[in-house]
Chains A and B, each alone.
Chain A
Amino acid sequence: DVKVTQSSRYLVKRTGEKVFLECVQDMDHENMFWYRQDPGLGLRLIYFSYDVKMKEKGDIPEGYSVSREKKERFSLILESASTNQTSMYLCASTPTGWRNQPQHFGDGTRLSIL
C-alpha cells in the first residue's frame, strides 16, 4: 500500500511565523501535491511537483511556497503565516504514467494560525 506521511497532525503557530509542513511518500512516486481543505470549498490545489526541484502553481499559490529537494519529500512553506491560512492541509502523491492515476493522500495537518 502507498504510504503518504505528513509530519504533524496538529500544528498551532502565530501570525507572521514561517511555517513548514512536511510530507514524505514511500512509493517512489514522481508527482506530489499540496491541497488545503476548507468547509464548503472542498480541496483546493496549492502547488504540485512532478520531479525533484520542479514545481508548478496550483489554483491558490499566494502566500505559499514549496520545496522538493528529494523525490520522497515535498514541503509546503508559509512564508509569513496569516490567520486566513488556518486550514486542513493535505499532501498527495501519484506515480508517473497515465496522468489520470488516482492520488493517494496523507492524514492531513490541521494548522491553526493565532
Chain B
Amino acid sequence: GQQLNQSPQSMFIQEGEDVSMNCTSSSIFNTWLWYKQDPGEGPVLLIALYKAGELTSNGRLTAQFGITRKDSFLNISASIPSDVGIYFCAGHNLSGTYKYIFGTGTRLKVLA
C-alpha cells in the first residue's frame, strides 16, 4: 500500500531546541493527522488538520496543512526530555473509505 515520505527518519537534539519534521505525498490529502508514540505504547493523536493552509497548535506543538495539500509540517518548540518518541503523520485522501495512510515515523531523541 501507499506510504507517506516522512523526514527526517531520526534526529538527536539538545533540550531547549526547536524541532521540525515533515511529511510529503504524491497525491492530495483532505486531512492530515500527527501522532506521537512513546516507547512500548500506542500512537496518541496530537493534532488534526482539515483545511489547506490550516495552522493548529497544541501547547508547544504546531502543525500546518500545506497549501498544495500534498504535505504537512510539525514543529516542536523548546524541546524537553519527555518529547522523546516517534512522531507519525497520517493522511486521508478522499478515497471514500475510512483508511488513513501513515508515514514511517520520525524518531526523536532529546539530550538533556
Contact = CB atoms under 8 A, between A and B. Distances in A.
Q: Which of B3, B48, B99, B104 has the most CB of A within 10 A?
A: B99
A31 interface: yes
Nearest to B96: A99
Interface in B1-54: 1, 3-4, 30-31, 33, 35, 40-45, 48, 50
A43 interface: yes
Interface string A39-52: 01111110010100
Contacts of B65: none
A84 interface: no
Contacts of B102: 42-43
Given A41-B104, A90-B43, A103-B98, 7 more contacts: A42-B102, A58-B1, A99-B97, A102-B33, A102-B45, A105-B44, A107-B42
A4 B102 CA distance: 19
Nearest to B99: A45
Contacts of B96: 99
A50 B98 contact: yes
Contact of B1 (A44, A106, A107): A44
Contacts of B1: 44-45, 58-60
Interface string B71-93: 00000000000000000101010
Contacts of A90: 42-43
A66 B96 CA distance: 22
Contacts, number: 59
A55 interface: no
11 contacts: A9-B40, A40-B104, A41-B3, A42-B3, A42-B103, A42-B105, A44-B1, A50-B98, A58-B1, A99-B96, A108-B42
Contacts of B98: 31, 33, 48, 50, 94, 99, 101, 103
Given A42-B102, A59-B1, A99-B96, A105 B42 contact: yes
A28 B3 CA distance: 29
A106 B40 CA distance: 11
Given A42-B3, A107-B42, A100 B99 contact: no
